[in-house]
Amino acid sequence: MPDLDVDGVPNEFDNCPTTYNPDQGDSDGDGLGDACDPDFGMEITPRFRHLCMNANTATVRPNGKLVMIQYFDTRRKLLDDVVRDGLTVTIDSTGMRSSETLVFSASNCATSGRPVRPKVRCTGTQGEKVVLQQQFPDVTSYQLTVKAKRRTTAPPLQNAPFALMFQIGAEDVPQSVAPSGCKFIGVLAADCYGPAPSRQRR
């Protein structure tokens, strides 16, 4: 029987008849093998790293702060998605009075244009800053860094899970943060950490 890609699977039964894939992997079960499926690997897998929040204690000039580091694994071109559609980050918790939302419109985002470790920088309407950078040598991994000052986040920040939501392009990417990885300083601050990323991810 003909076997065009010489992978040991006849064309009639090969889910990628013109692409070598002897394992015939089909992660999404759509009949197209992972080796030739344009949708394979396009999902965005989040990996939480760090969230530090300080509640506002001022009555005139807000002094709340927010720092976040998050990783994403995907074959999608996330930098292009952000430059085209912008980025929205939402932080919610039953231990907060209200959720925090940071909106970075596409008009306030620009790419560095670097060939290695390219990045996109965005600025929010209240001076918030975000950097999304492609990692190296694993170009399917991205690091997101968010920094925001003068937040009006009201206390208390209580011991409870955090629910993060990243709207990247048309896709919502949820991430949960367990309180076991957080240190709560009274009701005014929370400092949470996830696993440290490996130096080389494949």
- First-to-last alpha carbon distance for the chain, in angstroms, is 35
Nearest to 146 by CA among 73, 63, 89, 195: 89
Given a contact cutoff of 8 angstroms between Cβ atoms, the answer to whether 120 and 112 are in contact is yes
Q: What is the pTM of this model?
A: 0.79
| Residue 199: predicted pLDDT | 56
Residue of 149, 161, 169 lying closest to 53 (CA atoms): 149
Quickly list DSSP for 92-114.
EETTSSS-EEEEE-GGGEEE---
Length of the chain: 202
pLDDT surpassing 70 at residue 41:
no
State pLDDT tens for residues 148-185: 999 999 999 999 999 999 999 888 999 999 999 999 99
pLDDT at 67 over 70: yes
**Rounded distance between C-alpha atoms, residue 11 and residue 165, angstroms:** 43
